[in-house]
Structure 1
Amino acid sequence: MDREKFGSRLGFILISAGCAIGLGNVWRFPYIVGQYGGAAFVLLIVFFLLVFALPILVMEFSAGRASRKGIARSYNALEPPGTRWHRFKWVALAGNYLLMMFYTVVTGWMLAFMVRSMAGAFEGLDATGVQEVYDALLANPVESAAYMLVTVAVGVLVTRAGLQKGIERVTKVMMAALFVVLAVLCVRAVTLPGAGEGLAFYLMPDFGKLFAGATPAEQWSTFFEAVFAAMGQAFFMVSVGMGSMSIFGSYLGKERRLTGEALGIAGLDVLVAVMAGLVIFPACFAFGVEPGAGPGLVFVTLPAVFSQMPLGQLWGALFFLFMSFAALSTVIAVFENIIGFSMDEWGVPRGRACVVSGVLIAVLSLPCVLGFNVWAGFEVPGIGNIQAVEDFLISNTILPIGSLVLLLFCTMRRGWGWDAFVREADTGEGLRFPRWARGYVRFVLPVLIAAVLAAGYLPIVRTWLGMA
């Protein structure tokens, strides 16, 4: 059977961008920028996105297009005889399931908050009141599980309809709506009285803020902490390392070079993150809210901010509609990667793969739901509850390890090899992959990825040693 293909280049770009654009852009990006001082940290993220994450994104697309397979068979098709690169595919599959085990739950919270915003549940509430609403949602396993099941059902139904009729058609509409809603919210936020201070914080770089609160002796360690945080965020934003992008590369034709396509997708990724900041930071400063409020910024702080605005019910509903679209676009893309794995590896028909994978993901997502209520006492020292453990395993383990494996596979003689990778990446029209970057990609980039991996585990090791 012939491999499915995208109906248009726009479809490929929007679906790939939809996979990358998710909670990393609109949930994690604003609060981590707030924690590290604003505009200077944004520049660090953009820099590392270009020199750190973009080359790996090109490699993932290249491996998918050259093999005409997703992560299930791309290593098998491209590896030299006698090598065992293909064993990593099981780690990648586990990573996709792990991501969905908490991503479907958090997406469900977005849907729940959208419904509550539409119903006016946050009207007149301060941050304490919103926190109570948020805590009540998490403490209710039935409601939280119900919204998770709605999210899973969306993933199953869209992917079951196929690439062009389902995923491409729905994602185009969803991404267009996402940009429209986000643009409306940006205009409203930047025109709030007092928004100028938030815009200055967000758009005028002050590298001194990277050292804020640090003694002279602590400044270098504080700076390197910010650098590693920016590298990790850049990594998280493009979703490379577990084959989520290779499946879309496998649906591509040979008309366009892949560096330009990857650059366009990364550009959309950054644009959404920057626009999300244009909504959040002016609103926070206009109402005297701390921008580095942490993960609760979206679910607790912002609903309280919207409740103080004229027509706050409308703006809050639109904001969580935008957040839901961003999260669902990633859910659909990762579902397709999981389903594509079953189709490529075992020849399972699309319909059956969708149903089986959907049921499996729904069951595997229940521990995350229960981790905030029935199993709330379960915690891993230095990491946290069930959701935090799942997030840590993806963000701090599987994504960097997967990216390192892919990088070595595309540059080593005992792998696919540099020449084969560049030949595939440069097939078609558009921007070429820079051949002068071979030394950097081969020797420097692996060290940077290993440093991000180590930096993610260092606080955990310190915690465990302190407990010994």
Structure 2
Amino acid sequence: MQKAEEFSNRWGIVLASLGMAIGAGNLWRFPRLAGQYGGAFLILWILFLLIWSIPLLMAEFSIGKKYKLGVIGSYGQIGGRKFTWGGFFITLCTLGIAFYYSVVTGWALQYLGLSTQNLWAFISGGETIAKALSADPAYLDQYWNSISSGNTWTIILYILAVITGIVVLIKGIQNGLEKANKILIPSLFVLLIIITMMSLNMENGYKGLEYMFFIDVKHFTNATIWIEALSQSAWSTGAGWGLIMTISSYSRKREDVVLNTFIGGFGNNTASLMAGMAILPAVFALSASEGDAITYLQSGNQALTFTIIPKLFATVTGGAILSFIFFLAFFLAAFSSLLPMLELFISNLKDMGFSRKSAALRTAIFCIVFGFPSAYSLNVFNNQDWVWGIGLIISGLLLIVAVLRYGVSKFKRDYIDTDSDFNVPATYFAVALIFNAFLGVVLVYWWMSQGYSEYPWFNAEGNWNVFDVYSNASIVTQWGLVIIAGLLLNKYLYRIFVKNRS
């Protein structure tokens, strides 16, 4: 049974793909990595877009377009009766991200509110962030600590973000998601252009661009930059999330798989480059020295976005305007990515027979309930980010396995080449997927062997260290529970999402 809903035209699905891909990570994680490694990172990042992300996105897009079902149903169709649980894992993995990502959207609203107050204070001559910092240099650190754990307003705002997203999606694909993206995505690009121009016009701002695009060949011998480049491409483009599979299930019959995938992938990278060209010049222009600028850039994801950036913007005339624009763009990026995560759950519930409204309301309840622990505790947030962020690589591997079982050449002919005017060589697609199977295993092994926890498997007492934020035991336990649940429910999942929908 095919879904009656679909995007009105190509731009509808392109904007939805960009909204899915362009998220907080573009303005949050990419500038730090680009600033840390410069042009060497950019080269590898683009390389992995072509090797890892584009092939996976093409596979996802074509599967969703063909079967017009949610992730569980679509994956079950290509994976077969015994592997429907793979779609269940992909769905639960992305939902795990959606639960805490809604909190990021709440933080974005918190800082948008703070920057709005600061802009008004700047205009009216009131108490600005700059004045607060002069009285207390730890002001912004204290503010971040106050909202990141146990903060009532953070809880209220993440709930508000979820409810707003649900209100948009209840209206359907054309009247909800498509119309929202027609506002969100152009607005985001306009804001990025404005903040980039403002940053580049600052004194010494050009040094940020020089640093960003300078290629230091010594970095290529560092294994970490290769992993960082791959992970940034995989997580930023949404490859393996199941989101593009959900979006493409609403595509028109003759939608070009390859062309849309390339537009989405390179559009995401363009937004990341614009974010880097906005943030790095500002950091270099507002820092006391190049050494301080590099230190700021390497200070970590949350620190850079929520403490360093506002602090830097507060130090110059006009910084209040820059800060407001940045956090407005940050919120738009976060919210535009939250929408397809919510739609992924709605789509699966619709496959179970629920109406869109009923499915949307149930999605809201799930996200609010399961997002609460991350809103209340930063440790829970970091754990969920760690577990399901790495879990996306497992999702990508499951997708690769399904395509390999079907036959790469046959899959390309039956799924991708149909209705695609723009095409890619079969050898490229086959080699990329086979290489990615190896690459994904290496990536998971590398990440779990880094020793981010003092006791990765067992604690000092010899007990399974499941409650440690960054332990391997926590990762394996949560993955294992989802996989076991999927295996136990496999026959039910196949009957409900695949057999009954055929």
Could you state the TM-score of these two structures normalised by the residue count of structure 1?
0.89
Paired with 2:444 and 2:98, the residues of 1 have a C-alpha distance of: 21
Question: What is aligned with 2:60?
Answer: 60
Deviation (angstroms), 1:135: 1.6
Question: What is aligned with 1:110?
Answer: 108
Question: What is aligned with 2:482?
Answer: none
Paired with 2:254 and 2:372, the residues of 1 have a C-alpha distance of: 43
Deviation (angstroms), 1:391: 0.7
Range with bigger deviation, 452-461 or 333-342: 452-461
Paired with 1:322 and 1:270, the residues of 2 have a C-alpha distance of: 16
Q: 2:102, 2:338 within 8 Å by CA — same for their partners in 1?
A: yes
Q: 2:97, 2:385 within 8 Å by CA — same for their partners in 1?
A: yes
Deviation (angstroms), 1:402: 1.1
Paired with 1:52 and 1:124, the residues of 2 have a C-alpha distance of: 47
Q: 1:5, 1:251 within 8 Å by CA — same for their partners in 2?
A: yes
| Pair 1:3–1:166, CA change in 2 (3 A) | same
Q: 1:75, 1:86 within 8 Å by CA — same for their partners in 2?
A: yes
Say if 2:390 is the partner of 1:396. yes
Specify the SS of the correspondent of 2:203: coil
Question: What is aligned with 2:163?
Answer: 153
Paired with 1:439 and 1:4, the residues of 2 have a C-alpha distance of: 32
Say if 2:226 is the partner of 1:224. no
Identity %: 24
Q: 2:31, 2:276 within 8 Å by CA — same for their partners in 1?
A: yes
Question: What is aligned with 1:305?
Answer: 312
Q: 2:3, 2:68 within 8 Å by CA — same for their partners in 1?
A: no
Q: 1:102, 1:368 within 8 Å by CA — same for their partners in 2?
A: yes
Residue number among 361, 367, 370 corresponding to 1:355 in the alignment:
361
Deviation (angstroms), 1:78: 3.2
The aligned length equals: 438
Q: Alpha-carbon deviations, 1:31-90, whole Å to 9, x = none?
A: 12223x21211111111111111100100001101111120211233345xx41211122
State the Cα RMSD in Å.
1.9
Specify the SS of the correspondent of 1:464: coil
Specify the SS of the correspondent of 1:4: coil
Say if 2:30 is the partner of 1:25. no
Q: 1:376-455, aligned counterparts within 5 Å?
A: 385-397=379-391, 399-412=392-405, 415=406, 418-455=409-446
Deviation (angstroms), 1:461: 7.9
Deviation (angstroms), 1:417: 5.4
Q: Alpha-carbon deviations, 1:396-426, whole Å to 9, x = none?
A: 12x11111111121122xx375413433211
1:340 alignment partner AA = S
Specify the SS of the correspondent of 1:427: coil
1:186 alignment partner AA = T
Paired with 1:363 and 1:91, the residues of 2 have a C-alpha distance of: 20
Question: What is aligned with 1:239?
Answer: 238
Range with bigger deviation, 3-12 or 323-332: 3-12
Question: What is aligned with 1:333?
Answer: 340
| Pair 1:2–1:228, CA change in 2 (3 A) | closer
Range with bigger deviation, 107-116 or 458-467: 458-467
Q: 1:32, 1:294 within 8 Å by CA — same for their partners in 2?
A: no
Question: What is aligned with 1:46?
Answer: 46
Paired with 2:452 and 2:276, the residues of 1 have a C-alpha distance of: 33
Specify the SS of the correspondent of 1:119: helix
Paired with 1:63 and 1:269, the residues of 2 have a C-alpha distance of: 21
1:449 alignment partner AA = G
Deviation (angstroms), 1:254: 3.4
Question: What is aligned with 1:203?
Answer: 213
1:105 alignment partner AA = V
Range with bigger deviation, 225-234 or 419-428: 419-428
Q: 1:123, 1:312 within 8 Å by CA — same for their partners in 2?
A: no
Question: What is aligned with 1:381?
Answer: none
Unpaired stretches in structure 1, ≥5 consecutive residues = 212-219, 373-384
Range with bigger deviation, 162-171 or 286-295: 286-295
Question: What is aligned with 1:166?
Answer: 176
Paired with 1:76 and 1:47, the residues of 2 have a C-alpha distance of: 31
Question: What is aligned with 2:152?
Answer: 142
Paired with 1:441 and 1:297, the residues of 2 have a C-alpha distance of: 34
Q: Alpha-carbon deviations, 1:123-181, whole Å to 9, x = none?
A: 43546322122222224521110111111111111111100001000111011110111
| Pair 1:49–1:268, CA change in 2 (3 A) | same
Paired with 1:137 and 1:465, the residues of 2 have a C-alpha distance of: 29
1:452 alignment partner AA = L
Paired with 1:270 and 1:60, the residues of 2 have a C-alpha distance of: 19
Q: Alpha-carbon deviations, 1:186-240, whole Å to 9, x = none?
A: 00001100112111001222223x27xxxxxxxx4xx112111111111111112
Paired with 2:330 and 2:21, the residues of 1 have a C-alpha distance of: 14
Question: What is aligned with 1:95?
Answer: 93
Deviation (angstroms), 1:118: 0.7
| Pair 1:4–1:135, CA change in 2 (3 A) | same
Q: 1:422, 1:433 within 8 Å by CA — same for their partners in 2?
A: no
Question: What is aligned with 1:12?
Answer: 13
1:197 alignment partner AA = K
Paired with 2:433 and 2:54, the residues of 1 have a C-alpha distance of: 14
1:286 alignment partner AA = A
Paired with 1:421 and 1:124, the residues of 2 have a C-alpha distance of: 60
Paired with 2:273 and 2:229, the residues of 1 have a C-alpha distance of: 14
Once superposed, which parts of structure 1, at least 4 consecutive aligned residues long, lie more than 4 Å away?
Answer: 465-468
Q: Alpha-carbon deviations, 1:100-141, whole Å to 9, x = none?
A: 221011110111100110111524354632212222222452
Question: What is aligned with 1:324?
Answer: 331
Deviation (angstroms), 1:97: 2.0
| Pair 1:438–1:360, CA change in 2 (3 A) | closer
Paired with 1:243 and 1:287, the residues of 2 have a C-alpha distance of: 40
2:270 alignment partner AA = L
Q: 1:360-375, aligned counterparts within 5 Å?
A: 360-372=366-378
Could you state the TM-score of these two structures normalised by the residue count of structure 2?
0.83
Q: 2:24, 2:333 within 8 Å by CA — same for their partners in 1?
A: yes
Question: What is aligned with 2:4?
Answer: 3
1:108 alignment partner AA = G
Q: 2:57, 2:261 within 8 Å by CA — same for their partners in 1?
A: yes
Question: What is aligned with 1:215?
Answer: none
Question: What is aligned with 2:490?
Answer: none
Deviation (angstroms), 1:253: 2.1
Q: 1:256, 1:427 within 8 Å by CA — same for their partners in 2?
A: no
